[in-house]
A and B are shown apart, each in its own frame.
Chain A
Amino acid sequence: MRIEVNGAAQDITGPTLADALAELGWTQARVATALNGDFIPKTARSQTRLKPGDRLEVLAPMQGG
């Protein structure tokens, strides 16, 4: 299915958010996720099912003031 990951279209197969992160190579990465504007805790990723058109944000630590 096609979803949006960090603003760019991505085709992914896995039905869950955890599967999508694995496909994208972020399983081990220190990242936080939001789906369609709502925070999805790490513990809920494997129960969160994706659907076409979903907007996934994957954020990492970054410099800030």
Chain B
Amino acid sequence: MRDFYGVTLANPLMLGTAQYPSPAVLEAAFRASGAAVATVSLRREAGQGQGFWQILKGLGVPLLPNTAGCHSAREAITTAQMARELFETNWIKLEVIGHADTLQPDPFGLLEATETLAADGFEVFPYTTEDQILAARLLDAGAKVLMPWGAPIGSGLGLNNRYGLRSLRAAFPDVPMVIDAGLGLPSHAADALEMGFDAVLLNTAVAQAGDPVAMARAFALAVQAGALARQADPMAPRDMAQPSTPVLGKAWL
């Protein structure tokens, strides 16, 4: 497994901490998932942040703070600087959102913020699209990890552009990549790993499931299956049928 800024993860699952029915369910789901990274955010202190920090410490995994909700490079840069101090990590899941309905990345703001933050010692995980040109620019700007979307955040649609994602994976074979956003089912996560992505990041699919703990376990099994399948070198698909049972020796009836 490729490492993320020098950190080798115990398994290829990153899990968000938002939208669970209660803190107890969050903790139980997190344990059931075996996730190796927890994503977190920063919001105005309204009395709940300090207790949440204690829960995070109890999870015992590296934290990946995000810049969710930032619509400009400047906002994202300031948020990243605050996150670095608050969470004591150089990791930043860099989101620069371009449109409120689709929550798709603003490629121009994303590139600008990546350049600034990478130069300032941040280890940037840019939330990006499957666009190869943008990927190359982000890598030039100092990102050493890419986080292409599967589908719009919270949509649960899975891998929306399989051709684009496969091409991106093939174009940068040595770059660690995480499929971030849009996964709704464990099969989507397995799909991403079978395609050669190094990890998946999800939140809503677990937190908003009827039984988040059971769904967390299902994702744990799916990423294990997907990663193992990738290592096992899957067969190439073909358009025509080919008998699996030998033709030679068939009786003349």
Contact = CB atoms under 8 A, between A and B. Distances in A.
Contact of A32 (B18, B46, B82, B203): B82
B132 interface: no
Chain B interface residue count: which class? Answer: 35 or more
B50 A59 contact: no
Chain B contact surface mostly = mixed
B45 A29 contact: yes
A64 B85 contact: no
Contacts, number: 101
Given A32-B86, A63-B19, A65-B153, A58 B50 contact: no
A6 interface: yes
A60 B20 CA distance: 19
A65 B203 contact: yes
Nearest to A7: B44
B102 interface: no
Given A60-B86, A61-B86, A32 B16 contact: no
B16 A64 contact: yes
Given A7-B44, A31-B45, A62 B52 contact: yes
Interface residues of A, number: 23
Given A37-B75, A63-B52, 15 more contacts: A6-B45, A26-B45, A29-B50, A30-B50, A32-B82, A32-B85, A34-B78, A34-B82, A59-B43, A60-B42, A60-B50, A60-B52, A62-B43, A64-B18, A65-B203
Interface of B: 16-20, 26, 39-46, 48-50, 52-53, 56, 65-66, 68, 74-75, 78, 81-83, 85-87, 153, 202-204
